[in-house]
Amino acid sequence: MQGLSLPLPALTELQAEYVKHATELWNQNLQQVQAAGKPAAPHGDRRFAAQAWAENPASAYLAQMYLLNARTLMQMADRVEGDRKTRQRIRFAVQQWVDAAAPSNYLALNPEAQRKALESKGESIAQGMKLLWNDIQQGHLSQTDESVFEVGRNVATTEGAVVFENELFQLIEYKPLTAKVFERPMLFVPPCINKYYILDLQPENSFIRYTVEQGHRVFVVSWRNPDESMARFTWDQYIEDAAIRAIKEVQDISGAEQINTLGFCVGGTILATALAVLAARGDKPAASMTLLTTFLDFTDTGILDLFVDEALVQVREMTLGPASPGGGNLLKGQELSSTFSFLRPNDLVWNYVVGNYLKGETPPPFDLLYWNSDSTNLPGPMYCWYLRNTYLENNLIKPGKATVCGEPIDLGRIDWPTYLYASREDHIVPWDGAYRSIQALPGAKGKIRFMLGASGHIAGVINPPAKNKRSHWVGAAGAFPAQAQDWFDKAKEQPGSWWPDWAAWLKSQAGKQIPAPKAYGNRTHKAIEPAPGRYVKQKA
């Protein structure tokens, strides 16, 4: 915090504005109480939208003063002078405190929860305590009714079989839904920090099923949820023994010299790295590559940049990496899950604290939030390599700087058709950061299609056409200005899902159609077990 300051003129201005607005609120509430017997409900914040806040003059005034205090504190954080990252960290810390301090989060200050307690004769409080105890036992805050879902029963239900497995992953092949399939199969590499079934939630919103329906022979990597036996696994092992191995197995099973590939989030970074390693070896097995909400260039990583600096990475390396006692420890899935939840604390934390514990309401079933709570561990050495070489040093875009599996990485060797997708409101992979992948892939120049979808990191991706929701933006073919905003200014917004655009693009990369296989795998790859397999069911 050294070198930070809040200029006196700015502080004086904020103080004057605060006193002015606080006085106006006090006078306004007095007038409303005298005129109508109750003040108006605070506007513009759903936390205080219930009628109970309006009917209690003290609660309404408390909510209004909280909003004024919150706004003033954030303005103070914005006007602090200092280096960019420290200022962003201060703003993030203040935002966390402000969100936690909301009167709606506390039973003694929440008239809505108090009313429910009275009307239920205390039953809502008793039920809230039961839900709290259940969450303590399971080790995480419930965001949905988890009892409703079961992997393989009503999520991850697309029919298929495991046709290969090793200690890192299972390879799932899906049953064709068309009489003919394209000769080039499709391999999905999902993120290893989550489970693959985000791509296969329910039949009506399954990206996997949609791809199968388009006539593709689809294979998916299902990552093993690491336990202590994997605590010392490295980034190189994830590339060589998982991503590259999966590519080779799909080639072997299908008999295709080239396959189509897709990576999602960290899975996209893993996929691109694996293909760069293979290219360095003179092997180019990919006919195309699709990257969904993926960083290759980590110049601007948005809010996640707040957590990464040399000191933090060194601490992680000493506690989790090869330098740690035992040569490696697990990064627990609950830590990752909590970190991502507190990037949006009102939506993913305090909303459920109020609903679950203060009101005693079991959250409604929601498949996406069930998946979000199904956390995964990471091997410390693998995580530390990734943290240093991407978020901290941004080495992947520097030709020859990073060495993976004994090969210097040069993303410029990737010269096949590439489809890049970003989500406009993504707080994990900001869309302009994903747009930078265009410059990170100079070898694919002229073969890139960039697509921008509405909504966030997950909801933007999982947007089936049948629901006709949201929209997407399409730019002129091959026209990619250096700045993302310049591209957006000229792009055209189209209603509905981006999936059909991708499907049409993928069809052009998939080759001719051949009869669909009648069985899973081949002579050397027999079905091991039905999809979704054992690995995805392992808990952190």
Tell me the pLDDT of the chain averaged across its residues. Answer: 94
Q: Do 202 and 153 form a contact (C-beta atoms < 8 A)?
A: no
Q: What is the pLDDT of residue 28?
A: 83
Cα–Cα distances in angstroms (integers) from residue 227 to residues 167, 191, 276, 333, 380, in the given order: 11, 17, 29, 11, 11
Q: What is the pLDDT of residue 82?
A: 84
User: Helix 8-36 crosses helix 57-78 at what angle (to 10 degrees)?
Assistant: 160
* Catalytic residue chosen out of the listed positions 192, 265, 384, 405: 265
Spatial strand order of the sheet with 492-495 comes to: 492-495, 471-474, 448-453, 418-423, 286-292, 259-264, 186-189, 218-223, 169-174, 160-165, 529-530
- Kindly tell me if the per-residue pLDDT of 223 is higher than 50: yes
Tens of pLDDT along 144-180? 999 999 999 999 999 999 999 999 999 999 999 999 9
Tens of pLDDT along 16-26? 999 999 998 88
- Kindly tell me if the per-residue pLDDT of 383 is higher than 60: yes
Q: What is the pLDDT of residue 512?
A: 97
The residue among 409, 461, 477 whose CA lies nearest residue 440 is 409
Tens of pLDDT along 94-115? 999 999 999 999 999 999 999 9
Q: What is the pLDDT of residue 2?
A: 52
For tokens 């941004």, the residue is: 394
Chain CA centroid to CA 261, Å: 20
Q: Do 366 and 144 form a contact (C-beta atoms < 8 A)?
A: yes
Question: Comparing 43 with 167, which gets the higher pLDDT?
Answer: 167
- Kindly tell me if the per-residue pLDDT of 4 is higher than 80: no
Q: Is 378 helix (H, G, I), strand (E, B) or coil?
A: strand
Tens of pLDDT along 114-129? 999 999 999 999 999 9
Q: What is the mean pLDDT of residues 225-242?
A: 97
Which pLDDT band, with edges at 50, 70 and 90, does 540 fall under? Answer: confident
CA pair distance 436, 420, nearest whole angstrom: 10
Q: Is the dihedral of CA 325, 329, 331, 335 positive or negative?
A: negative
Give the whole-number percent of the chain exceeding pLDDT 70.
98
**What does the domain layout of the chain look like in residue ranges?**
8-119, 160-332+377-537
Residue 189: beta bridge partners? 263
- Three-state SS annotation for 284-334: CCEEEEEEECCCCCCCCCHHHHHHCCHHHHHHHHHHCCCCCHHHCCEECHH
The residue among 257, 182, 247, 241 whose CA lies nearest residue 504 is 182
Q: Do 379 and 328 form a contact (C-beta atoms < 8 A)?
A: yes
- Kindly tell me if the per-residue pLDDT of 41 is higher than 70: no
Q: What is the pLDDT of residue 43?
A: 62
Which pLDDT band, with edges at 50, 70 and 90, does 213 fall under? Answer: very high
Does domain 160-332+377-537 fall under CATH 3.40.50.1820? My reply is: yes
- Kindly tell me if the per-residue pLDDT of 38 is higher than 80: no
Q: What is the pLDDT of residue 1?
A: 47
CA angle 362, 100, 94 (to 5 degrees): 150
Neighbours of 5 (CB within 10 A): 11
Q: What is the mean pLDDT of residues 466-493?
A: 94
Residue 238 tokens, joined = 């994830």
Neighbours of 83 (CB within 10 A): 10
Q: What is the pLDDT of residue 532?
A: 98
Q: Do 226 and 154 form a contact (C-beta atoms < 8 A)?
A: no
Lowest mean pLDDT among 41-55, 248-262, 514-528: 41-55
For residue 284, with 0-12 CB atoms within 10 Å meaning exposed, 13-18 middle and 19 or more buried, which class applies?
middle
Helices (H), 37-182: 51-55, 57-78, 84-100, 111-119, 123-138
The question of whether 265 is a catalytic residue gets the answer yes
Neighbours of 481 (CB within 10 A): 14
Q: What is the mean pLDDT of residues 121-140?
A: 95
Residue 311 tokens, joined = 């000191």
Q: Quick one: the chain helix, strand, coil %, rounded to 5?
A: 50, 15, 35
